[in-house]
């Protein structure tokens, strides 16, 4: 279907029990969890299915867990003969998109995102960085606010996830993020919400993580993809393996251009989006970006049946 795109969720979409129903009902989904267990050397399947939640929330576990649950759901859809014309993923989800598109081997991707999680976690000591969601402020206004709020002493704050016209996440040094949040409210933002995150993702403080990940990704084989993958870093599609690798490296310190990515897909004729993996975060963002588009999700048996029936019409 040339009007269909698959979207893969990022960190924050994890939930205890994710993927369990699909693994019980579909051998291809169970096989996916088995592959991940083997690639990592521990039972990530058990953490996905049973928890505990506090362990599933650890960045180095969350990232391979969401990737595995997403690919399990993707493979079930593929078995049912449903294929997209484009794929995109939010931050971590860009790796799931590349596995789906054949750019990366699944086992390589699982290990890569485990290390990505470790590197991101250790790049900045806990409490030094922060992230906040700013609601109801345009990107250009928010960029001005961030420039004003960044302090001396190398304190940084910048837009990190441009999620929708109404929701932009900022990231950086804790004090600078707090200043930017306060300033945004005085300049007309509807709300500023400090996020419960373990590190300030997608900003220049992540440079040590980017440098470490670069070594890992350059040692992996990247194929040209079977369908275009939209890059977070610039919202543009690629099928080139080397370009895909460089985009994943730059993504660690770069902002997630989600609005640009979704607009590119709509301009390319996509009218139906399927969020593949746990949660409905990306469908929620799609409603803020363009309410006229259809966004459905696949994370368990009920949502799978509903989506498959809907796409058949």
- Residue 311 CB-density burial (10 A; 0-12 exposed, 13-18 middle, 19+ buried): middle
Q: Each residue of 54-71: pLDDT tens digit?
A: 999 999 999 999 999 999
Q: CATH code at 60?
A: 3.40.366.10
**Tokens in use for 20?**
């369990």
HEC readout, 219-268: CCCCCCCCCCEECCCCCCEECCHHHHHHHHHHCCCCCECHHHHHHHHHHC
The predicted-structure confidence for 219-278, as pLDDT tens digits, reads as follows 999 999 999 999 999 999 999 999 999 999 999 999 999 999 999 999 999 999 999 999
Which spans in the chain are helix H? Answer: 20-25, 27-40, 44-50, 53-56, 59-79, 93-100, 106-123, 139-149, 174-186, 207-218, 241-250, 258-267, 281-289, 301-312
Q: What is the pLDDT of residue 197?
A: 84
Respond yes or no: is residue 202 known to be catalytic.
yes
Where residue 184 sits, what CATH number does that domain have?
3.30.70.250
Report whether pLDDT(154) > 90: no
- In which domain, by residue range, is 286 found? 4-123+205-312
Domain boundary among 152, 180, 197: 197
Query: 112 and 92, same structural domain?
Result: yes
98 annotated active-site:
no
Rounded to whole angstroms, the Cα distance separating 84 from 6 reads 6
Residue 6 backbone dihedrals phi, psi, to 5 degrees:
-100, 135
- Give the CA count within 13 Å in the CB-facing half-sphere of 2: 3
Q: How confident is the model at residue 153 (pLDDT cuts 50, 70, 90)?
A: confident
Determine the pLDDT at residue 291: 95
Q: Considering the candidates 91, 181, 225, 303, report the single residue annotated as catalytic.
A: 91
Among 45, 173, 181, 202, the active-site one is: 202
Q: Give the integer Cα–Cα distance in Å for 249 and 214.
A: 6
Rounded average pLDDT over 168-182:
97
With bands split at pLDDT 50, 70 and 90, how would you rate the model's confidence at 2? low
Domain final residue pick, 148, 164, 197: 197
Closest by CA to 149, choosing from 186, 190, 177, is 177
Give yes or no: residues 32 and 92 share one domain. Answer: yes
Q: Give the single-character DSSP code of 181.
A: H
């Amino acid at each position: 279907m040339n009007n269909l795109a698959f979207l893969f969720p990022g960190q924050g979409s994890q939930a205890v029990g994710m993927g369990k129903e699909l693994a019980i009902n579909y051998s291809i989904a169970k096989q996916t969890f088995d592959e991940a267990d083997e690639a990592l050397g521990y039972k990530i399947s058990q953490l996905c299915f049973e928890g505990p939640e506090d362990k599933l929330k650890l960045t180095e576990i969350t990232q391979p867990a969401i990737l595995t649950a997403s690919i399990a759901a993707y493979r079930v859809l593929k078995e049912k003969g449903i294929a997209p014309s484009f794929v995109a993923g939010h931050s971590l989800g860009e790796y799931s998109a590349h596995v789906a598109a054949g750019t990366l081997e699944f086992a390589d991707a699982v290990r890569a995102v485990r290390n990505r999680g470790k590197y991101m976690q250790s790049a900045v000591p806990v409490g030094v960085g922060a992230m906040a969601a700013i609601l109801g402020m345009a990107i250009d206004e928010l960029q001005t606010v961030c420039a004003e709020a960044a302090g001396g002493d190398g304190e940084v704050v910048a837009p990190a996830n441009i999620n929708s016209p109404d929701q932009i996440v900022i990231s950086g040094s804790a004090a600078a993020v707090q200043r930017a949040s306060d300033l945004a409210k005085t300049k007309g933002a509807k709300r500023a919400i400090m996020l419960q995150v373990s590190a300030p993702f997608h900003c220049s403080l992540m440079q040590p993580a980017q440098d470490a990940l670069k070594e890992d990704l350059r040692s992996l084989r990247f194929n040209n993809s079977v369908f275009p993958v939209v890059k977070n870093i610039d919202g543009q599609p690629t099928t080139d393996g080397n370009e895909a690798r460089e985009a994943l490296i730059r993504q660690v310190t770069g902002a997630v251009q989600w609005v640009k990515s979704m607009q590119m897909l709509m301009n390319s004729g996509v009218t139906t989006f399927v969020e593949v993996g746990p949660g409905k975060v990306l469908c929620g963002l799609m409603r803020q970006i363009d309410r006229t588009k259809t966004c459905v999700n696949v994370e368990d048996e009920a949502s799978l049946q509903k989506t498959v029936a809907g796409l058949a019409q």
